[in-house]
Structure 1
Amino acid sequence: MEDKQESVIHQLQQILPNAWSIESSSKWSINNPAKGQCGVTSLVVNDLLGGEVLRTRIEESWHYYNQIDGKVCDLTASQFSEPITYMNIPSSREEAFSDTNEEQYQYLKSKVDKLMNKQNGEI
């Protein structure tokens, strides 16, 4: 099971930069595609792999990420120029949704599904 999860995480690392856009976060920019994508991405990762949604404080904001099989999985860490000190505070889907909205979530979920299916040879 762990190998499948690692394979999905690797696949997400490849496709998320192409899935993120202004449609998935109003903070997105071409120079920093992961910016503002943490809440919405943590929800999509949770949909695909389960695990837990965690959060940590970065400056005045919450940063959301996942924990899968006891390991931190932060696919939006690249938005920050400094290393992250993870507090691993338990969070929830509801709290992660406070960082996004239904339209952004549905957009990213759909885009990730399409890109994963395309990469896996499905149409």
Structure 2
Amino acid sequence: MPITADELRPYFRSAWGADTCYPDSREEWTPRNPARDQCGMTALVVQDILDGDLIIGEVHVGGVQIGHHYWNRLPDGSEVDLTADQFRPDEEVVGGRVVARPPDAPRRHREQYELLRERVLEALAADARS
């Protein structure tokens, strides 16, 4: 039986670290907020496992855009955002549109994507063997 997005959540929580978040945001990452700045890599790995579309929205504070946020739309049309709990109360995600996946792997942050993907897939494989 295929794995669900909810079943994937603990694998990502265990795999996230300062070494898998956006490098320019490493100082913001803490174990207390493990999803912080993990959205792009996480959305790509979720897509690797569950397929579907990548969605990008804007992150606003006080009506001013401060960044972007990625999540997934699954083949059944449902949306899943494994990093939604990263945001501070003053941060709001607005909009959302489908974006094309980069061919092969992302050009930026490729190392973080590959590390996160490896950790999640290894943990899934280990659990499947036990």
Structure 1: gaps of 5 or more residues: none
How many angstroms apart in 1 are the aligned matches of 2:12 and 2:113? 13
Structure 2: gaps of 5 or more residues: 61-65
Residue 40 of structure 1: how far off its partner (Å): 0.3
Q: Work out whether residues 58 and 67 of structure 2, in 8 Å CA contact, stay in contact via their aligned partners in 1.
A: yes
Report the 3-state secondary structure (helix = DSSP H, G, I; strand = E; otherwise coil) of the residue aligned with 1:61: strand
Give 1:18's match in structure 2, choosing from 10, 14, 20.
Answer: 14
Q: Work out whether residues 39 and 65 of structure 1, in 8 Å CA contact, stay in contact via their aligned partners in 2.
A: yes
1:121 equivalent in alignment to 2:129: yes
Higher share in helix: 1
Report the 3-state secondary structure (helix = DSSP H, G, I; strand = E; otherwise coil) of the residue aligned with 1:40: helix
Q: Aligned residues: percent identity?
A: 30
Residues 15-58 of structure 1 deviation map (CA, whole Å, 9 limit, x = unaligned):
11110011211433111100000000000011111100001111
Higher Rg: 2
Which residue of structure 1 aligns with residue 63 of structure 2?
A: none
1:46 equivalent in alignment to 2:52: no
Report the 3-state secondary structure (helix = DSSP H, G, I; strand = E; otherwise coil) of the residue aligned with 1:22: coil
How many angstroms apart in 2 are the aligned matches of 1:24 and 1:58? 20
Residue 85 of structure 1: how far off its partner (Å): 4.9
How many angstroms apart in 2 are the aligned matches of 1:17 and 1:9? 13
TM-score scaled to structure 2, two decimals? 0.78
Residues 50-100 of structure 1 deviation map (CA, whole Å, 9 limit, x = unaligned):
100001111211100000021111000010144855523111223x947x5
Count of residue pairs brought into register by the alignment: 116
How many angstroms apart in 2 are the aligned matches of 1:117 and 1:86? 36
